């Protein structure tokens, strides 16, 4: 119990929350347990290291080191849920706070790994059980980058979730499950293929870079290949498709479509007929105003890009990008085709820019925006 108390007091000291009485208690406990003196010093020294300014690197470092730490039986509870999931819902605008959070967390975790490697006696007694499943998720208005234990980099778009088996990942086939949208830069390993599971398809790769979009409730599931090659298995059709660089696979998620059937010489009615999902294999979309920009990958580079897309589809992207809810009341307006790119614009600025090409009105009520003709 005294050893547990040492690590609790140490964390309070580093965060600046320890009282004078707690600082005295910490010193007394370290004297009682001299074997903890050196680990405590190492943590304090690591905490004093200046924070790295590359926030994407820090996020990746945090995730990778936290997994290594859990392998040693020490489970840090930094912004975690009881299920073992990590919820990265930091607003996009809060970059300075986010950088400080990742810097502090990465330094503490790195220090802890060193301590528990060099000093086996300093073991965690809070939880000896490993979390079998790791889950990383983002909310509306937030995006993040992580690094998996094998070195693969993953960028998660808003309202997305990535799940993988923390205990067995990398020992056999590298497998993850995705809901939402993610861009993968997979480390090549011919002996251990990398597999992404979605609701409608499985994607198998060895080493490549590609984007996958599979949001629940949307009409399509998409895979966009930047480089390398991937094998896509369509679950509903039991088909396999090999994709080449710069190709885009679109799978229609809807299992029904309206078919006109002639009932008589004067009457027609719409009848719904069950059909197999429609597959379309095409090319990546290049932004008309700058052909060096790939629309499908734009969000990874911090840009909300759309090219000749319907306003109702653009609205879904803007909902996730800005963390708002958009309601379009005019059916004709929903079908308007627009092209544009936003990077640092606020939501109001983005709407005002869209108004220059399409006439509409909008009202903002907290986080709900109503667009009308």
Pair 319, 249 in one domain: no
Residue 304 has pLDDT above 70, yes or no: yes
Pair 269, 182 in one domain: yes
Window from 43-52, 94-103, 160-169, 257-266 with minimum mean pLDDT: 257-266
Pair 276, 190 in one domain: yes
- Nearest by Cα to 126 from 305, 256, 1: 1
Distance (Å, rounded) from C-alpha 95 to C-alpha 103?
Answer: 12
Residue 107 has pLDDT above 60, yes or no: no
Element (H, E) at 59: helix 55-71
In the predicted model, what is the mean pLDDT of residues 5-28? 72
In a domain, 156, yes or no: no
Confidence at 253, pLDDT banded by 50, 70, 90:
confident
Q: Which among 259, 284, 309 is the end of a domain?
A: 284
Structure confidence at residue 300 (pLDDT):
93
Element (H, E) at 44: helix 37-47
Structure confidence at residue 42 (pLDDT):
52
CB contact burial 246-283 (16+ within 10 A = b; e otherwise): ebbbbbbbeeeeeeeeeeeeeeeeeeeeeeebeeeeee
Distance (Å, rounded) from C-alpha 285 to C-alpha 71?
Answer: 42
Distance (Å, rounded) from C-alpha 74 to C-alpha 1?
Answer: 16
Residue 40 has pLDDT above 70, yes or no: no
Distance (Å, rounded) from C-alpha 5 to C-alpha 9?
Answer: 6
Distance from the Cα of residue 6 to its chain's centroid: 35
Q: What is the DSSP letter of 319?
A: H
Pair 194, 274 in one domain: yes
Cβ-contact 133, 120 below 8 angstroms = no
Q: Is the pTM of this model over 0.75?
A: no
Structure confidence at residue 235 (pLDDT):
85
Q: What is the DSSP letter of 284?
A: P
Pair 333, 279 in one domain: no
Structural domain that includes position 194: 172-284
Q: What is the pLDDT of residues 190-228, one digit of tens each?
A: 888 999 999 999 999 978 999 999 999 888 999 999 999
Cβ-contact 175, 185 below 8 angstroms = no
Strand ranges in 27-132 using DSSP code E only, listed in sequence order = 85-88
Pair 296, 260 in one domain: no
Distance (Å, rounded) from C-alpha 315 to C-alpha 334?
Answer: 9
The CATH number of the domain where 335 resides is what? 3.55.50.30
Confidence at 10, pLDDT banded by 50, 70, 90:
confident
* 161 against 80, higher pLDDT: 161
In the predicted model, what is the mean pLDDT of residues 351-373? 90
Report the percent of the chain where pLDDT is more than 90: 38
Highest mean pLDDT among 55-69, 116-130, 145-159: 145-159
Q: Which among 263, 284, 305 is the end of a domain?
A: 284
Cβ-contact 180, 159 below 8 angstroms = yes
Report the percent of the chain where pLDDT is more than 70: 63
Q: What integer best gives the mean pLDDT of the chain?
A: 75
Distances in whole angstroms, Cα of residue 215 to Cα of each of 164, 169, 212, 245: 18, 24, 10, 23
In the predicted model, what is the mean pLDDT of residues 73-81? 45
On the 0-12 / 13-18 / 19+ scale of CB atoms within 10 A, 136 is buried
Pair 221, 302 in one domain: no
Cβ-contact 259, 252 below 8 angstroms = no
Phi, psi of 56 (to 5 degrees): -65, -40
Cβ-contact 205, 225 below 8 angstroms = no
Q: What is the DSSP letter of 80?
A: B
Helix, coil or strand: residue 342 = strand
Distance (Å, rounded) from C-alpha 322 to C-alpha 94?
Answer: 13
In the predicted model, what is the mean pLDDT of residues 285-291? 88
In the predicted model, what is the mean pLDDT of residues 69-80? 48
- How many distinct structural domains can be found in the chain? 2
Distance (Å, rounded) from C-alpha 316 to C-alpha 347?
Answer: 13
In a domain, 61, yes or no: no
* 265 against 321, higher pLDDT: 321
Window from 161-170, 182-191, 211-220 with minimum mean pLDDT: 161-170
Pair 310, 364 in one domain: yes
């Amino acid at each position: 119990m005294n050893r547990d108390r040492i690590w609790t007091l140490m964390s309070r000291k580093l965060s600046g929350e320890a009282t004078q009485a707690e600082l005295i208690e910490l010193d007394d406990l370290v004297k009682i347990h001299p074997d903890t003196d050196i680990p405590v010093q190492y943590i304090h020294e690591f905490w004093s290291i200046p924070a790295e300014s590359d926030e994407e690197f820090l996020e990746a470092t945090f995730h990778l080191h936290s997994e290594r730490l859990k392998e040693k039986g020490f489970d840090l509870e930094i912004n975690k849920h009881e299920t073992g999931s990590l919820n990265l819902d930091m607003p996009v605008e809060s970059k300075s706070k986010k950088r400080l959070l990742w810097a502090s967390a990465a330094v503490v975790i790195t220090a802890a790994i060193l301590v528990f490697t060099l000093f086996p006696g300093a073991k965690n007694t809070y939880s000896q059980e490993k979390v079998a499943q790791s889950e990383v998720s983002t909310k509306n208005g937030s995006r993040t980058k992580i690094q998996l234990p094998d070195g693969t980099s993953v960028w998660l778009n808003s309202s997305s979730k990535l799940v993988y088996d923390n205990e067995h990942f990398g020992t056999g086939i590298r497998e993850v499950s995705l809901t939402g949208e993610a861009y993968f830069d997979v480390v090549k390993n011919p002996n251990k293929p990398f597999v992404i599971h979605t609701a409608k398809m499985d994607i198998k790769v060895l080493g490549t870079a590609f984007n996958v979009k599979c949001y629940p409730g949307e009409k399509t599931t998409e895979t966009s290949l930047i480089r390398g090659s991937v094998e896509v298995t369509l679950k509903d059709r039991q088909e396999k498709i090999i994709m080449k660089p710069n190709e885009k696979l679109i799978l229609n998620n809807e299992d029904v479509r309206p078919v006109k059937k002639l009932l008589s010489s004067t009457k027609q009615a719409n009848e719904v007929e069950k059909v197999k999902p429609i597959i379309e294999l095409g090319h990546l979309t290049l932004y008309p105003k700058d052909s060096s920009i790939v629309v499908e990958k734009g969000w990874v580079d911090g840009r909300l890009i759309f090219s000749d897309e319907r306003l109702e589809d653009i609205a879904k992207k803007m909902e996730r990008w800005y963390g708002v809810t958009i309601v379009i009341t005019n059916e004709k307006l929903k079908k308007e085709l627009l092209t544009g790119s936003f990077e640092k614009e606020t939501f109001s600025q983005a709407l005002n820019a869209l108004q220059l090409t399409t006439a509409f009105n909008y009202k903002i009520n907290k986080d709900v925006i109503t667009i009308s003709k």
